[in-house]
Amino acid sequence: MIKDHPIFLESIRFIKSNLNENNFNYLENKVLERLVHTSGDFNIQKLLEFSEGACEQAVRSLKEGAPILTDTDMAAAAIESMAKNTNGNKVVSAKKWFNDQDFLGLTKTAYGIEKGWIELSAKNLGSQSPIIVIGSSPTALVNLLEILKTSKQIPSLIIGMPVGFIGVRQSKNKLLNTTYPKIIVHSTRGGAAMAAAAVNALLRETI
């Protein structure tokens, strides 16, 4: 059961009344509202892109119990409370796999996302395929896309919102040029809070 604070509800009403007209559907607008609320920036609307049916597929998968794999503890922490209060989906960050000593030439986060995807996807098949949340690490996103080329299944959704300047735009463009279900915030914008907000908007729709 979700009990929203009156200030949050007032903020969402304000956001709705000030958004520009768009072609987003109901679920896409729910994600947009949360991202604007989290960032405090209406310009997010110009940067946000969805693959067709991505939100609908993600909600179905969340209802089926799909786990959520994040690139940071911060994103995981921001999602855990909403997951607990909605559909109870498991939330785990890449850090779970940081204990290994050999990262195979990858960054820790890229390695953790790779190992996390391999482990979670083996246990959660079909409509329960994991949702991948990238809010910080472009290297994790790029490596994920490489290993998916030979994977037997694909994520239920990829949130592509790494933030920063080095490799960020390139990683988002690489995701854009795939057929995977995805939500992207273009440019250098993104971050753990925004990536988590997108997932939380979809979790709300599971109840």
- pLDDT score of 205: 97
pLDDT tens over the chain, length 207 residues: 677 888 988 999 999 999 999 999 999 999 999 999 999 999 999 999 999 999 999 999 999 999 999 999 999 999 999 999 999 999 999 999 998 667 778 999 999 999 999 999 999 999 999 999 999 999 999 999 999 999 999 999 999 999 999 999 999 999 999 999 999 999 999 999 999 999 999 999 999
47 vs 186: CA distance, rounded Å: 5
pTM to 2 decimal places: 0.95
The closest of 107, 78, 113, 108 to 93, measured between CA atoms, is 113
Q: Please, what are the domains in the chain?
A: 48-204 (3.40.50.10230)
Q: Is 93 helix (H, G, I), strand (E, B) or coil?
A: strand
Helix (H) or strand (E) holding 70: strand 68-70
- pLDDT score of 3: 78
Token pair recorded at residue 121: 């996807």
- pLDDT score of 5: 85
Cβ pair 130, 120 in contact under 8 A = yes
Q: Which amino acid is residue 189, in one-letter code?
A: R
Using CA atoms, how far residue 73 sits from 55, 98, 116, 156, 182, in Å, is: 23, 12, 13, 21, 21
- pLDDT score of 101: 66
